Amino acid sequence: MAAGLNRTTITAPISAADTLVTFASASGLFKGYIAYIDREAMLLQLQPIPAVPSIWQVMRGQCGTGAAAHAANDQIFTGPPGVFAATSPQGVSSQDGANALPHINVLTGDSFMVSGSGAWQKSVEAVPEQLSLAPGALQTFNSNGNLIIQNGSVEVNSASARAMTLPVATTGDEGTVMTILGSGGGAHTVTPSGGFAGTATVATFGAGGGTLILQVIGGKFRPLSAVGVTFT
């Protein structure tokens, strides 16, 4: 199965000359890994403050990219050097055959996902462009219930916390991308019967609302984006 790039944000702005970066999460950060943000690749060199594992000293402008200033909360991907590319994909692939997802061209900043049929799709924020920009009705839930695995968006809207479940994904669901919106003030939960990709079993929306984008990869729900959502 293709490796999933770690995705987080930086918590403070950095100039083109800064060599210290503070990540929102220390998960997936290792010496020798590449950190990629807004068409710049950086090499993770060392943790200057062992007690603060989210702060890293980096070597700027790697992999043929140039150093640039970046704003706080900018998205940043991390992974071993071999999972980043300097070209865009062509032809067909599969979830298992792809080196890493999303496939990121570090020189152009373009990213790509693989559809269930094996086609490469240019993506926006690691969500296939054809799906993220597609119009469609929003299905709304205001009570506990079962969500249907399908491309598109659903909203859980209630002042009280609602418990939602997702059925076990089948081979026919492979590649499906769905967006789940939490609103209304309730701390809603989403529990996939087959679990998320990784060790988490429950996603909980904050009272202020949140957005969770999931893709079915290898029969598991892989979080592509989670804003205002925590996993346990």
* In the predicted structure, residue 3 carries a pLDDT above the cut 90: no
Which tops the pLDDT comparison, 74 or 65? 65
* % of the chain exceeding 90 in pLDDT: 33
Edge-to-edge strand list for the sheet holding 127-128: 103-104, 111-114, 120-124, 127-128
The pLDDT of residue 2: 53
The pLDDT of residue 95: 58
* % of the chain exceeding 70 in pLDDT: 86
* In the predicted structure, residue 223 carries a pLDDT above the cut 50: yes
Compute the radius of gyration of the chain from its Cα atoms.
18
pLDDT confidence tier of residue 129, bands split at 50, 70 and 90: very low
The pLDDT of residue 40: 95
Cα–Cα separations (whole angstroms), residue 139 to 77, 83, 119, 176: 31, 36, 28, 16
The pLDDT of residue 72: 86
The pLDDT of residue 125: 53
The pLDDT of residue 1: 47
What's 21-79 look like in SS3?
Answer: EEECCCCCCCCCCEEEECCEEEEEEECCCCCCCCEEEEEEEECCCCCCCECCCCEEEEE
Please, are residues 211 and 220 in contact by the beta-carbon 8 Å criterion?
Answer: no
Question: What is the residue extent of each domain of the chain?
Answer: 3-130, 135-231
- CATH number of the structural domain 135-231: 2.60.120
The pLDDT of residue 123: 66
pLDDT confidence tier of residue 110, bands split at 50, 70 and 90: confident
